Amino acid sequence: MNELYPLKFIPQFYTKPWGGKNLSKIDSLKNAPAEKCGEAWLLSGVEGRQSVVSNGFLEGNELNELVEVYMEDLVGEPVFNEYGETFPILVKLLDTTEWLSVQVHPDNDLAMKHHQVPFGKTEMWYILKATDDAGLINGFKTKTDSGQIQKAIENGTLSQKLNMVKPAPKDAYFTPAGKIHAVGPGLTLAEIQQTSDFTYRLYDWGRTDNEGNPRELHIGNGLSALNYDDISTGKTEPVRLGNTIDTLVNCAEFVTNRITLKAAQKVRREYISLDSFVILLCVEGDAVYEWDGKEETLRKGECILVPAIADDLLISAKNGAEILEVFIQS
């Protein structure tokens, strides 16, 4: 069997009523629709929406096929033992011109109860761009209960009970399963989450579809999923690990570090002790990584999947770059 290597993937694009124009302006995503492109799925093991490899001898293979064949060599032994043949992390870029629905995601237990799948949806956002009118909702203003929230949904006052946040570029927000939230207009952001696309919409700002019908809400499931004690805005404070590295999110589902390289700066990332895959997502500038004596470019908007068998990776940037580094901590 040929040896694994850092894998690149073909991005998948999805138009949304709230989508914008910014994703198609990123060179690596120039095939995105020019209008209403709300999401670019960069790395996905979601059934029916799996990422396909775009480089090397594994070109054309779906992600979960590779997990099945290479198992712990690709994802790490602890990861494979826990998650099996489904890749556990989904990576997207979002671009918004309107408010998305006020929503909540199930945790692992509720996902199994309602959907017979083991993954809930804990996620984080990293802000790439924010206009003057950009906004986020994350968490309740004060502790509450299902009765109060159901009444607020019915009388249209739900938004008054929620934390309205003014995001800025380079901000990171953590949104665990059970946290009420909504992404607002004027944002381009990276979203890193569990491999799940289950969303319970609680409020949708009175929007209707092309036939004038309101979008489906999921009040019952949503109320059962909410953490009514979560009053945090979710904004994280970076924890410095070294000259070029800080940690943005460290949770059971994933760890996200930020690598910041100045012009002509290099960093060698040691992965031998992780026993996990590593995702590198370039969110600013272009980077170069060295593998097996060869140099490859990682452009803004691209991600690579570094296999768990990798000992290390040398990363550099001619003109500076910013990279999100994602893995699962055993």
Same topology between domain 7-225 and domain 239-327: yes
Which residues does 172 contact at the CB level (< 8 Å), separation at least 6?
124, 125, 126, 127, 235, 236, 238, 248, 249, 256, 258
Span 169-212, pLDDT tens digits? 999 999 999 999 999 999 999 999 999 888 999 999 888 777 87
pLDDT recorded at residue 116 = 86
DSSP letter for each residue of 192-255 = EEES----EEEE-TT-B-TTSPBPP--HHHHHHH--TT-----BPPPEE-SSSEEEEEE-SS-E
Span 134-180, pLDDT tens digits? 999 999 999 999 999 999 999 999 999 999 999 999 999 999 999 99
pTM for the model: 0.96
Instruction: Outline where DSSP puts E strands in 6-55.
Output: 7-8, 12-20, 37-43
CATH topology (fold) of 239-327: Jelly Rolls (2.60.120)
Q: Where in the chain are the domains?
A: 7-225, 239-327
Interatomic CA distance for residues 295 and 32, integer angstroms:
27
Q: Is 49 a catalytic residue?
A: no
Q: What is the pLDDT along the chain (330 residues), one digit of tens a residue?
A: 578 999 999 999 999 999 999 999 999 999 999 999 999 999 999 999 999 999 999 999 999 999 999 999 999 999 999 999 999 999 999 999 999 999 999 999 999 998 888 889 999 999 999 999 999 999 999 999 999 999 999 999 999 999 999 999 999 999 999 999 999 999 999 999 999 888 999 999 888 777 878 888 999 999 999 999 999 999 999 999 989 999 999 999 999 999 999 999 999 999 999 999 999 999 999 999 999 888 999 999 999 999 999 999 999 999 999 999 999 998
Instruction: Name the active-site residue from 201, 207, 240, 258.
Output: 201
Question: The domain 7-225: what is its CATH number?
Answer: 2.60.120.10
Q: Longest Cα pair distance anywhere in the chain, in angstroms?
A: 63
DSSP letter for each residue of 105-157 = ---HHHHHHHHS-S----EEEEEEEE-TT--EEEEESS---HHHHHHHHHHT-
Q: Measuring CA to CA, which residue among 75, 77, 10, 86 is closest to residue 47?
A: 86
pLDDT recorded at residue 119 = 86
